[in-house]
Amino acid sequence: MDPQLHVAATLLLAVLYPLLPLNGRRTLLLVASYGFYGAISLGFVPYLLVVSLVSFFGGIFIEKRRDPTWPIATTIAVLLAPLIFFKYWEAWFGDIILPGITVSSLSFGGQGSVLIPVGLSFYTFQAIGYVIDVRRGADADRNVVRFLTFKAFFPQLLAGPIERYRSLCPQLWSAPVPPPSSVGPAVLLMLWGLALKVIIGDRLGVSVDEAYIVAQPGWRDAVMVTAGFTLQVFADFAGYSLIAVGSAKLFGVDLIYNFKQPFFSHNLIEFWQRWHISLTRWIGDYLYRPIGRTLWRWTKGKRFQSEFLTAIIVWIVMGLWHGPTLQFVIFGLSQALAMQAIKLLGPDRPAKLPWWRLALGGLATFAFVSITFGLIRTPDLSRYATMMGALVTGQAGHAPIIEGAIALVALCIMMAVEATQRFRPVTEVSRSPVLVYSAIFLLFLLVVFFGYDQSRAFVYFRY
């Protein structure tokens, strides 16, 4: 679905929502969520329904048999089967189209296409987290309508935030009518996210694509496919997350803020604590700590060995989640090794560091992130090596640094807003209705007149 159309449809539903009784509001959330997903492709709906029902009945089954491992192992294996199939089928078996299997047809510009249905990773991770929580002692839901509403809630369905059952489901089932004072800030978040996507993310995406088709790239092309791509992903993904948070607020629901000014991190560890927060927390709770405890026992309490091996395993998995080839393994390994090196150098406390060390740390972190994020975008390692070589050739290259002055100005505004929010929570930026609605009007005009007119799917719809 086109992002502008998504925002417009959400606003129309938000007008209807408070006019309905409690059960009507619950029904609207469920029907609208499946309607939004079906609008992308009706063929995707069965995947969502199957994952939801497997986790629902699996949770009940696990609650009755918490001691043996086979119920939770079987449930997780069944939940992972569609994800593994769609993520790795093309890499393992080539372009084989199976009759009756609906695959993604979204356009990702120069990144090509993928088979995986939109959102499958995110609602699968959410389902796995739910059944693991039940295994750990949480109560399984026995109301299938309530559970289906939780699994399908449309603002967070396609690319997160990956919300936990215990925090999201009670909000959805109570179906609160949002206070009028929350409507303006919610719409402002949505339009700010939309502006990041269509004014910055999409324009940078065009320039990144152009840089990759240059026969003899120079340093400007290399900067574009590293730093440019990193900024593109942030504008695109943070933009989606803000649209999700704002959309949910229109229905009285609070979601996690998925990004907290990651480019103002003083080292790589802090960066990953501020980037895609719901995923990193999910990885920590359901992958890192369980593996870490196991390796702690295997290494007989040797902390360095167990932490090092845990980080390597987890980040290789993270890399393979982004893609099935060697470059994604290298991406994961680079993050793990860099963070272990930071830990070996000793912990530092940002509050006690001088400003110049924080600034240097931030620049070094951005440079490392940009260079390694290039591994996610590059079509192959040969092309990546060519681009890295171009960074030091001294030749200017051919691709423009930014696709026009519009994106450059918008980038400056984005970083200024990020810098402001680094020290003030986003909800406290402005409490003045006049300022909020003035900003809404301004953003609406900017999106209309300066939004990129060739819509591209959100980058993380690939994963």
Cite the active site residues: 322
What SS3 state is found at 315? helix
Burial of 122 (0-12, 13-18, 19+ CB in 10 A): buried
The Cα–Cα gap between 194 and 196 comes to: 5
Among 82, 85, 94, CA closest to 123: 82
| 288 close to 310: Cβ distance less than 8 angstroms | yes
The Cα–Cα gap between 336 and 316 comes to: 8
185 CB neighbour count, 10 Å cutoff: 20
298 CB neighbour count, 10 Å cutoff: 12
Residues in Cβ contact with 311 at an 8 Å cutoff, skipping those fewer than 6 apart: 288, 336, 339, 340
The Cα–Cα gap between 370 and 200 comes to: 17
Residues in Cβ contact with 255 at an 8 Å cutoff, skipping those fewer than 6 apart: 155, 156, 161, 163, 168, 244, 245, 248
